[in-house]
């Protein structure tokens, strides 16, 4: 069984010390599915996390993650299966 999150926002901003998206799944029979279909920007603040995933997941990212000269940030914090098709840029 899959739990899907489909993102179609034009622009995403994650503020300082914040999380953008949290996928929390403790059921081993379920898979979180995260897909964003828009190529708009993601701006991350200092000490922020774009996507945190706990449990089985299939992640497709079609956006560039912008660090905005932050000292510390995490694009993806993932504990299980994953796939990412974009890279982080400074």
pLDDT, one tens digit per residue, over 14-60 is: 999 999 989 888 888 888 888 887 777 888 999 999 889 888 888 88
pTM score of the predicted model? 0.74
Report d(CA 37, CA 60) in Å as an integer. 9
Give the HSE-up count for residue 61: Cα atoms under 13 Å, Cβ half-sphere.
20
Q: Residue 16 gets which letter from DSSP? A: T
């Amino acid at each position: 069984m899959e739990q899907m999150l489909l993102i179609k926002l034009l622009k995403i901003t994650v503020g300082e010390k914040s999380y953008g998206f949290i996928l929390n799944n403790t059921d081993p029979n379920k898979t979180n599915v995260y897909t964003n279909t828009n190529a708009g920007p993601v701006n991350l603040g200092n000490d922020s996390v774009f996507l945190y995933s706990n449990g089985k997941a299939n992640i497709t990212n079609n956006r560039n993650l912008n660090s905005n000269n932050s000292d510390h940030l995490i694009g993806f914090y993932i504990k299980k299966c994953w796939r990412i098709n974009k890279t982080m840029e400074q």
